[in-house]
Structure 1
Amino acid sequence: MKFDKDAWLLEAIRIKYIIPREDGTVWRRKWISADLKSMSREVHLIKQRTHKATQRVYFNLTFKGITKSVLVNRVIALAFLPNPLKLPQVNHIDGDKSHNYLKQPTPELVEKWGEYQLEWSTGRDNEKHAHANGLKTGRGSQNSNAKLTAPQVVEIRASAESPSAIAKQYGVARSTIVNILEGKTWIHV
């Protein structure tokens, strides 16, 4: 049976063993009994770490005899953001993975990004957001092997010509055009 990490985290939050705050900090009780019926009144700020490769902020949590690495943005979202569509990922709206607070801290940021800093998202929407905001490269025209640009892909999708004619026009293989038209490539555009 697969371990349900979200349920495990929600239980730790529900009984207040960990205490997420809207500012992106997470506090933890000093101790908890094995039966979960008593715990320390004393709380400590959990030390957060940044993963070197991904820049995601996390901490290690031991609860109910299980130790797991936990993403801070996910804990904040689980604690404060409803997820009626059961979306699987949490997106940083401004793209900065160190910003794990719930709401934007200034009126200027609210105007630019909206009230919240975090949102539930699908993997695909998270990818689209990253590309649309210049947070991720290596796809589309950023790929060193790319023969087309995003505006050209938009033109290709709007064209009434046959894939063969379009391929000839842009100097690419017919399969490249077919993959664009079928949504198999350039999905971020």
Structure 2
Amino acid sequence: MSRFPKDNWIKDALAKGYIIARENGDIYRAKRATKDGVVDRSAGYAKVAVQVHKKTGRVYFNMTWRNFKKSVLVNRIVAWRFHPNPDNLPQVNHKDGNKENNAKDNLEWATGSENEKHAHRTGLKSGRGSANSNAKLTVADVHAIRASDNPVPALCDRYGVSRSTITNIRNNKTWTHV
């Protein structure tokens, strides 16, 4: 089973005039189009009601085009409309870090690595402590480990971490921000 070519599907909707992106990040959808992709521009356009994904904070809407219904990210539509992507970069970065600001001047194409580095550089992600997706401990756990007189092996068993993790916490080599 081949992967649905969502990017090309969205680009087709843009090219045919089914959806229109504005410089401020607003998206408009044609009020009438056939299942074959013929848009009746004389019927006019309506502003799309967008939603914000609770977990990621990304702005999206649901779109039906050529008999397919998919959720679509607003930032990608605006980026495709206003920013060439000759290097075929896979992600859209929000320069100000605000995922709800999908204005043309706030968006740029980026690699995943560039996007991550930008998030760390601007403080959107710290990657430190429990903010690190691989963290097994919480700030409260670290305080308890430092305050405990229990032997290292007992703490390893209690928290499910290695001897070096406990030792590094106690010696302030890790979790130094706490």
TM-score by length of 1: 0.66
1:43 aligned onto 2:32: no
- Structure 1: runs of 5 or more not aligned: 104-116, 146-170, 173-189
Aligned to 2:114: 125
- What are the residue-to-residue correspondences of 1:107-118 with 2, within 5 Å? 117-118=106-107
The CA distance in 1 between the partners of 2:118 and 2:35, in whole Å, is 42
Kindly tell me: are residues 56 and 101 of structure 1, through their superposed partners in 2, closer, same or farther at Cα, counting changes over 3 Å?
Answer: same
CA shift digits 1:35-65 (9 cap, x unpaired) = 2234242100000110011110001100000
Of 115, 125, 130, the match for 1:136: 125
- Structure 2: runs of 5 or more not aligned: 138-166, 169-178
1:3 aligned onto 2:4: yes
Q: Quote how far apart the aligned CAs of 1:3 are.
A: 1.1
CA shift digits 1:65-102 (9 cap, x unpaired) = 00111110000001110001100000001100010001
The CA distance in 2 between the partners of 1:136 and 1:38, in whole Å, is 42
Aligned to 1:62: 64
Give the length in aligned residue pairs.
135
- Larger mean Cα displacement after TM superposition, 35-44 or 84-93: 35-44
- RMSD, matched Cα: 2.0
- What are the residue-to-residue correspondences of 1:51-90 with 2, within 5 Å? 51-90=53-92
TM-score by length of 2: 0.70
Q: Max radius of gyration: which structure? A: 2
Question: Aligned residues: percent identity?
Answer: 48
Aligned to 1:157: none
Aligned to 2:146: none
